[in-house]
């Protein structure tokens, strides 16, 4: 069963609908006990970083989520702010992140050279996987996804970057460390490309 962590944020229904259409067992979860029996876990997120972190912290599910990720090594997919929550910290807030993928979430326009960019980065953009297969199987060429964000994940280790996107420079559209995956875009709102990615996540090997 794929558990979608429902801590009050993010489009849990749209993600669940896609898995149901794929005939894959899925459950919208509000109780840590269900995370313990899940095979893999989707962590969605919309909104400001601190709001998302505090909602997750207050949900009571964080200990079970930590255990599922660390002890049981279940695959976890963070989406949008859910990906940013995997970082150590964010320039958008003061609360610590989960710290599962070493890095900092930064605002796009803090570099001087990019002061003219329109923010948020909003709309459909190309995503280039660094390696074929895995989460991006079948999406190696011409995959496009919907983005909606003003902050991006800057991994401490460049090898954590799984896929890249251009927006006034290159940023990490996707990260991975071991069983932890993150995508900055919204696969649940990215038509058949997003469906393919969510299907791939359901098939990535458990560690």
Q: Is 188 a catalytic residue?
A: yes
- CA–CA gap between residue 63 and residue 71 (Å, rounded): 11
Minimum distance from residue 73 beta carbon to another protein (Å) = 29
- CA–CA gap between residue 189 and residue 29 (Å, rounded): 20
User: Residues binding another protein: what is the number (CB under 8 A)?
Assistant: 40
* Interface residue with another protein, options 14, 36, 67, 177 (CB under 8 A): 14
- Which of the stretches 33-41, 63-71, 114-122, 153-161 binds another protein when contact is defined by CB under 8 A? 114-122
Q: Is 159 a catalytic residue?
A: no
Which residue's entry shows tokens 């949008």?
80
Which of 6, 92, 149, 188 is catalytic? The answer is: 188
CA 155 to chain centre: 13
- Which of the stretches 25-33, 58-66, 181-189, 199-207 binds another protein when contact is defined by CB under 8 A? 181-189
The answer to whether 121 and 149 have CB atoms below 8 angstroms apart is: yes
Instruction: Give the tokens for residue 105.
Output: 């979430």
Question: How far apart, in Å, are the Cα atoms of 172 and each of 7, 10, 127, 152?
Answer: 25, 20, 9, 7
Is residue 124 a contact residue for another protein (CB under 8 A)? Answer: yes
Instruction: Give the tokens for residue 90.
Output: 């964010």
Instruction: Give the tokens for residue 125.
Output: 């953009």
Applying the rule CB under 8 A, the residues between 51 and 110 that interact with another protein are 51, 81, 92
Q: What residue ranges bind another protein (CB under 8 A)? A: 8-14, 17-18, 46-48, 51, 81, 92, 116-126, 144, 146-150, 166-167, 186, 188-189, 191-192, 194
Q: Which residues are catalytic?
A: 80, 186, 188
């Amino acid at each position: 069963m794929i558990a979608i962590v429902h801590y009050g944020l993010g489009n849990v229904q749209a993600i669940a609908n896609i898995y149901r259409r794929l005939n894959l067992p899925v459950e919208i979860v509000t109780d840590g006990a269900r995370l313990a029996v899940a095979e893999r876990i989707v962590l969605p997120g919309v909104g400001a970083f601190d709001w998302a972190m505090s909602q997750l912290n207050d949900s009571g599910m964080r200990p079970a989520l930590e255990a599922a990720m660390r002890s049981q090594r279940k695959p976890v997919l963070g989406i949008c702010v859910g990906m940013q929550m995997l970082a150590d910290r964010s320039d958008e807030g003061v609360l610590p992140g989960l710290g599962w993928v070493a890095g900092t979430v930064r605002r796009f326009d803090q570099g001087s050279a990019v002061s003219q960019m329109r923010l948020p980065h909003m709309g459909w953009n190309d995503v280039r996987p660094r390696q074929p297969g895995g989460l991006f199987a079948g999406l190696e060429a011409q995959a496009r996804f919907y983005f909606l964000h003003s902050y991006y994940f800057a991994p401490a280790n460049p090898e954590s970057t799984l896929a890249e996107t251009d927006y006034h420079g290159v940023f990490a559209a996707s990260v991975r460390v071991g069983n932890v995956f993150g995508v900055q875009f919204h696969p649940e709102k990215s038509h058949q490309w997003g469906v393919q990615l969510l299907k791939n996540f359901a098939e990535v090997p458990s560690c």
